[in-house]
Amino acid sequence: MRVVIDKLDNFGRGITHINNKICFVIDALPLEDVDIEIIYENKKYMEAKVSYYYKKSSFRADEICKYYSLCGGCDLLHLFFVKENEYKENKVRELVHKFHIDTEVKSIVYQDEYFYRNKIVLHKDGNNIGYYQKKSNSIVSIDSCLLVNKKINKLIEYIHNIDSIQGEILIRTSNDLEHSMISFFGNDNFDFSLLSMFDVIEYNKKIVTKEQYIITNVGHKNYYLSLASFFQVNTKLTEKLYDEVYDNIRLLHPKIVLDLYCGTGTIGIYISDLVDSVIGIDNNPSNYYDAINNKKLNQSNNVSFILDSVENVIDNFQDVDCIIVDPPRKGLDKKSLFEINRINPNSIIYVSCDLFTLMRDLSYLQKNYIIKYIKPFNMFPRTYHVETISVLCRKTIEK
């Protein structure tokens, strides 16, 4: 079936219409003239793949990764990077319009196209080590990945030869590439050569090295990082993201900041020099204990942390000047949204990794807050994901 692609959807797939039904086309770009093969259909939509290109987009990039057609790691490797950034910025603008959010969308912030990740999760079965194939549990065996830093790629090459490593494998490095850590499952034949390659090793859920964490940095701050803790994966752009929060805190002059879903305390500690106190809340024990150590490491004596779910403790707070939220993809729960409105801080800084839950939450919050702007950050190049920072100010204090 021959069709012309109209645009990209929010997941980087081409969109066309067949008999008034929407069809999502894998590996297709706007204005491309293609033959497609339907691979799935229900009452509401169809999915298809391209069987032949009559006319390719002038923005189609050469696919420089030999695994791209199989691997589930990337979505937009076939699109010029400059157009990827345009696509992501426009995606934010379109959703702002769709959800009737009254705000300015600033230009997207981006940096490195490749080799930006400080973390990878791989799977190994026998001699195959790599990512899962798209929509499958079959492993696409890889020698390297364009998304991760060069040290991780060297480590991938090394562990290919370690027969005792099987199952899920997590590898992380510090942002300066000086330190690395690995978690994996394996048989009883532990390969002691791994001790010369990694600072931290978790083997069958047990730490077998002297060290349990590495030290990494973002801008002017250093942080302890454990294997099970959350940390932003983009080595360079994380600093720009945190600087955006820092600059807003410097302009807003809050005294007391509540940092919800604080992870390892990174943002709260990053801005702690500007405020009287920061209270961070997170329900992940690994995040919490790293946060406590990070407070000591940075001598941030005005920062404290609570180990609990946000919805369990947020109703205990009042007289907070600013709330920073960096929730998981599901966004804020109804109780937390209600309590944020009750606390009624002068300002809210919302860091989000999911545009749909962000728009849902902003729709609720804009009843009492002016959304000054949303700024997108391309934290995950060559995928459809986009990070954002939204800055909100209470309407009653707006000048």
Residue-wise pLDDT for 45-56, tens only, equals 999 999 999 999
- Between these two residues, 135 and 212, which has the higher pLDDT value? 212
> What's the rounded Cα separation, in Å, for the pair 15 and 19?
13
> What's the rounded Cα separation, in Å, for the pair 3 and 17?
8
- DSSP output for 336-361: HHHHHHHH--SEEEEEES-HHHHHHH
Q: Are 355 and 46 in contact (CB under 8 A)?
A: no
Report how far apart, in Å, the C-alpha atoms of 338 and of each of 64, 285, 294, 310, 332 are.
48, 26, 31, 12, 10
Per-domain boundaries in the chain: 2-60, 84-112+230-397, 119-217
Q: What top-level class would CATH report for the domain 119-217?
A: mainly beta
CATH 3.40.50.150 fits 84-112+230-397, yes or no: yes
Share of the chain above pLDDT 90, in %: 90
Spatial CB neighbours of 343, under 8 Å, sequence gap ≥ 6: 258, 314, 317, 318, 320, 323
**Tens digits of residue pLDDT in 291-314:** 999 999 999 999 999 999 999 999
At residue 397 the predicted structure's pLDDT band, cuts being 50, 70 and 90, is low
At residue 70 the predicted structure's pLDDT band, cuts being 50, 70 and 90, is confident
- Residues 90-93: contacts with CB under 8 Å, at least 24 apart: 91/10, 91/355, 91/386, 92/355, 92/374, 92/376, 92/386, 92/388
**Tens digits of residue pLDDT in 355-369:** 999 999 999 999 999
At residue 106 the predicted structure's pLDDT band, cuts being 50, 70 and 90, is very high
The reply to whether domains 2-60 and 119-217 share a CATH topology is yes
CATH 3.40.640.10 fits 2-60, yes or no: no
At residue 44 the predicted structure's pLDDT band, cuts being 50, 70 and 90, is very high
Q: Is 105 helix (H, G, I), strand (E, B) or coil?
A: strand
> What's the rounded Cα separation, in Å, for the pair 82 and 171?
29
> What's the rounded Cα separation, in Å, for the pair 98 and 78?
27
Token duo for residue 240:
């720009």
